[in-house]
Every structure is written in C-alpha cells, then in structure tokens.
Structure 1
Amino acid sequence: MTELPPPKPADGTQIQAALCNPQRLAAVRETGLLDSIAEESFDRLTRLASKITGAPVTFISLVDSRRDFYKSTFGMGAPLDTQRQLTGRTFCHYAMVSEGPLVLEDATVLPVFRDVPTVASLGVRAYAGIPLKNEAGEVLGSFCAVDFKPKQWTQQDIEVLVELAHSTMREIRLRRALQSAETLNQQLLQQLQKVDELNLALNELARTDPLTGLRNRRAFDDSLELELAVVERTRSPLSLLMLDVDHFKQINDNFGHTAGDKVLRSIAQVLSGCVRIIDIVARVGGEEFAVILPHTDATGAHEVAQRMRVAVAQASWLCQPTTISIGAASLRDAESARSLFARADAALYAAKRSGRNRVVAA
C-alpha cells in the first residue's frame, strides 16, 4: 500500500470518463441515496472510523457526474456538514479510479492535489479513501477519512476503513432490499385490492340478472332471508309481491325473442320506478318478477301493487299492449321465507286465473 503517484496527463480524462460512465451513474441513482437525509445506520460507521483511526473527519461520499454527495459526515463542520455536497475535483474522484485504497499522508506534497478544493480552501492535508464498489464492480463513491495535518496512516487504519467500506456497501444493499421488499409489498397490496374488487364485481355479476340489471333469483332468496331476520329482531311488517307478464309467450311468438327481451327490460324499469330505495326488485324467472317490501303491511303492499299494475298498463309498448298480474302476501308470525313465497305465488296464479291485469292478495 503506497501513496498515489503523481497522475499522468491521461488521468484527468480517466476520471472524467468514470464520472460520466452511464452504468456507474445508473448504479449510483439506483441506491436511492442521493439527496437523502442522514441515517443512523450510516452515521455510526463514520463515527466508528474516526474513533478507531483518530482522523478528525470521516465521511461517506457518493459521486455523480457533477458533485460529491455526503451520505454521512463526522466532524466535517460548516458548511459541508449542512450542505452535504461538494462540486469540483475531489479526492474521491481519484479514489474512484484507483485500484485500491487511495492513501495520502500529505496531499500538499503532490502538485496534482494542491488545487483540490478541500486542500486549497479547507486545509486538508491527509486523506485515506476506500472505493465503494457494488456487485457489478461499479464504483459508487468512497469511504473517506481526512486530517488537517500530515498523518501517517497505519495498516490497521486502512484495514478498518476497508472493512467499514464493506459495511457501507452491505448497508446499501440491505437498504435496497428493504426498499424492494416494500415496493413488492405495495404491489402485492395493490394486486390484492384488485382481486378484492374483481371478486366484488364477480359476486355482483353472480347476483345480477344480465338482461334487466335487477337482482336475480339467488340474490332475491338471500335478500328475503335477511329481511326475515330483520323482522325477527324488530317485529316490523314485511310484504312480498310476485308479478308475471300477461301473455308474454304471445309477444315472443309474434314479435320474436329480441322484442320479448325489450319488454322485460322496460317492465323492470317501470317496476323500479314504483318503489322506494329500501325495496328490492328482482327477476326470479323467465317473465316473473318479485318485489320485497320491508316495513310494509298488507294495505301498503296492495297500494304498491296497484301502482305497478297501472304503470305497466299505461306505458307505451311497441309490440302490443302489455299488462302484469300480481300476487301479494304479507308475513305472518313465525312464517318462513318459503311459506311467504308460496302464498304470494299462489295469489299470483289466482290473479291470472281470474282474468289477468289485476292484484290478488293471499
């Protein structure tokens, strides 16, 4: 281990090429450390370096194309301890292109170093710098110790600085690994959120009638059970309407299934316009609909049913006049969903048998 010999004229070109090397600059940026705040995990390394070597100033320097950024400093003093960067040619540039540790007992002895800013303006005399290399061999910067008077660096000093430089790189790798893990974790959370959203959408699709956009039979059955559970707790009234499109087969036979589908969609819109937000309208069969009416007794259910019947009969239909028959049933004490549905369904067929376009209560 010897002091750096006087650089040859090509050394300036060599340093400039290293400073502007795109692979090296990319590696420096990938650390995520440029312009980052001070961190104890790095500061403890520079403190330890000063304590062991006796150097009054130690620092970790990352070198980009236009400046040295000090990730950690110890004993540097104003203004560098607050600005944490330095422009112009520095010792770290020479350390960056050295084959190993750059060790100077007195920088003023060599003319090439006399104009280095830290020598010219800050009075630095002694310097020891260890290149910080990543796994690909790119030099990110250096781990440095300096003194303001000539210093004879010992073998132990250099070995300590080399080990601390290795520790610095381990810390950088660990930091990147943690950042990568955090990024992956965020991506995983985003993917899980998307999966949840897709599951919700799929669940909604599974509970929605694709033709009319109303709830389907599965959703209707679930909703009716839930409403019965509410009634059991609150003792509030509950009614159910079963509806069927009169002579719907004639519409399909005479005008085609496309026309029949349009009729079903239009009826769904009419029915939805006749209910409250708490009411539940569902398509439970080919041309059959059901309406759950929470907090509604038999009188209220009959009024809603008549409103629906009249609204459908008075609507404009492209194919032929269209009407609906309705069966209404109100929940009895301790009655099951199946029983309520069966009574409303029986009332519906009674309405159809008695002439259609009417409401029959169970």
Structure 2
Amino acid sequence: MKFLGELDPASLSRTQRCNRRLSDPSRLQAIRDTGLMDTPQEEAFDRLARLAAQLLNVPLTIMSLVDANRQFFKADFGLPSPFRETRTLPIDASLCRYTLEGESIISSNAPADPFLKLHPSTGPWGIVALIVLPLINPDGHVLGTFCCIQPSVREWSQQDLTVMKELTASIMTEVNLRNQIRKLKAEQNMRDTFVAALTHDLRTPLTASKLSVQLLGRRHADVPGVQASVSRVTASLDRAEQMIQNLLDASRIQAGKPMALEMSDCDLHAVTAQTLDELSAVYPERFVLTAEGDFKLRADVLGLRRIVENLASNAAKYGAPGTPIEVRLDRGETQVMLQVRNQGTPIAAEELQSIFEPFHRTRSATESASKGWGLGLALVRGLAESHGGKATVTSCAEKGTCFTITLPLDASAGRRLSA
C-alpha cells in the first residue's frame, strides 16, 4: 500500500503492525468461520447500519469484513455505485485494514489528519469525518469494521461514539451467536455419529454373547444351576441392550427428531397392568391401578410399556418407602390419560422446569442409592410427544408428585399430519 507521502514514525509503525495481521492464518480462519464472506445482504446487519445513519445523521455507514485480499461490504446505508453492486474493495485501497491491531480510527477532519490525509482513498471517497471501529471476536481477532462517514468536518460527540460502540457490540453479538449455533450443530452431528458408531459396535458383541450363553444353556441343560445362571446373564445383556437403545433415543430427542414407533391396535389398560405386574416382582405391594372404561387405542406397545415402566419404577425408587403408588387411567373423547402419583419429598420448583431434559437428575435422585443416566423421564416425554401427546408433572408436599401423560386415541394420524 503506497501512501501519498511519507508517514510519521507512529503512523508507519501502525501500518506495519496491521500489515502483519492481514494474512494471519488464525484471523483468516475466524473470518471464514463466520460464514459471512461473499454472502447477500441481511436485514439483521442492514438494520444496524440504518440505525447508525439515523442516530448520527450521517449519509454513509458500512459493516465490512477484511481478509488478506479485499474488504467485503456485508451491510451498508448509502453505499454509492459501483461499490453497492460489487460489494468489494481491493485491499490496497482499504482504510479499514489499519484497525487490525484493534485500534479504532476516529477523526473529525481527515484531510488535516497526518495519517489519513496521505491515504489515497480519502479524497475519492469524500471522507472528511469518520468513525471506524474494529469488529473483534472473543479470541481477539479483528474480523472487519463498522464505520460511519461524514463528507464534512464534524466534531464527534461522546454520544456519537457511544452509539457506534453499542451498535458495533450488537453486530458482534449477532456474529458470535451464529458462531455458537454453528459449533453446537457441529458438536451435535459429531455426537450423533459417535453414538451411532458406539451403539453399533456395542450391540454386535452383546448379540454374540447372548447367543453363546443361550447355546451353552441348551448344551448343558442337565447341569444343576446352569439355567439360573443363563437367565441372569441373559437378563443383564438385555438390560445393557436397553441402555444402548435409551442412549440412541436420547440422542434423537436432543436432535429434535421423533422417536421411531411401530403402531398397532392395543389396550393401554392391559399394557399398564402387565407392566406393573412385572415390576411388582421388584417392588411388591406398591402399585394401585385404577381404571374404568375402554382404553383401546392405536399406539406403539413397546413405547407404552417404557412410559409406564419408567414412571412407575421412578416412583418406587424415589417416593416415600412403603407408601402406595397410585396409577390411574382416564379416557376422554379423543385421548387417554395416564397418571402416576407417589408420596414423599416434593421435587423443587426450579427442578420441575428441566426434569424432562436428557441427563438431568433431580437432587433426590442424585443423593439416592439408585444410579442412572437421567434418561428415563426424557424418554417418557419423547415417547409421549412422538405419539402426539405430552408429559407434565406437578409436585407438592400435600398431594405428592404426579406425572401425567396424555395420548391421542390414534397416534398414527398425528404422525401422518406432521410427516
């Protein structure tokens, strides 16, 4: 970049420092990470450019990105032709490149400024008074600038500077939020890939182990104790396989995807009764089922079992020991309702807001002897919502803790409409 004269030592030092920053690989990568270079204008940024022009009463405001070769105008108010059409400026003609060390350029009279008067773009652009503020990301890299230009001498007030600084901060808030969303999406994709690979790799040896154990059981069926051992090992392998499925389902829930369901005609009363009967082997004389009427619906039977099993076993594990757990079924014209209520220490109000989130565990669950991943209630909500229903919870000392699941009579109809 050739100036129209010899710079003073301070100005020369500034240009040299900024020139070194121009091709910094980390800075250039930070610009690429924004995804803003060579993209169309966006109202989110143009709005701030218009606002700056209105508040400061200036004819030209520009938001730019500055890479190693050019200055790209992402947003503007009053940008003249041909720049409004090309939206770029060769780097040798860029004044904004001299903010890359994080220093602003502020002048009330550029033709009288010892540095600015020698820059070849000052005259052709009609730059007299200007405020140029660097756009600095959280890692300290200067991505570009936000500037306002006045074609006449103007003493900038403190209010003018404050407005520009606040609007610059707003631009960076938008840029940083977009970067965070991009990173979260990348992390989510990586997590989904990892979970899929992990579960695939785990299921293969589990299946092989289960087949081997069952084969040994058949070969040595006459040996005392073999069948009992086979049953224990098989049950443990089944539990491990269910944990893998829970992890897969939780990953789908976090990604906002509906859970996979196999719809069929079934009876919620029969499914609930059978599930509670099986749980009674572990928690004897705890469950009291109340149901009157017809509870036939179209739903995923395994999903219904998982809902009942998670809610009932949680109530048994974390409710007051020895107290009855009330399980109630009700039916309306278009939906059925399942309620599971237990007595005991109520769930804190602040925890009720996040109790259905994956990997969340309440304080009582964390302090109890029962260990878990905090996936059960997330799966309950995911299954309910995948059926087109919902899951809610209330908790207080007087009435206990009550989880309520509402499901449509024909969940497949809702899934067809949302597909």
Could you state the TM-score of these two structures normalised by the residue count of structure 2?
0.43
Could you state the TM-score of these two structures normalised by the residue count of structure 1?
0.49
Q: Which has the larger radius of gyration?
A: 1
Q: Which protein, 1 or 2, shows the higher relative CO under an 8 Å CA cutoff with sep ≥ 6?
A: 1
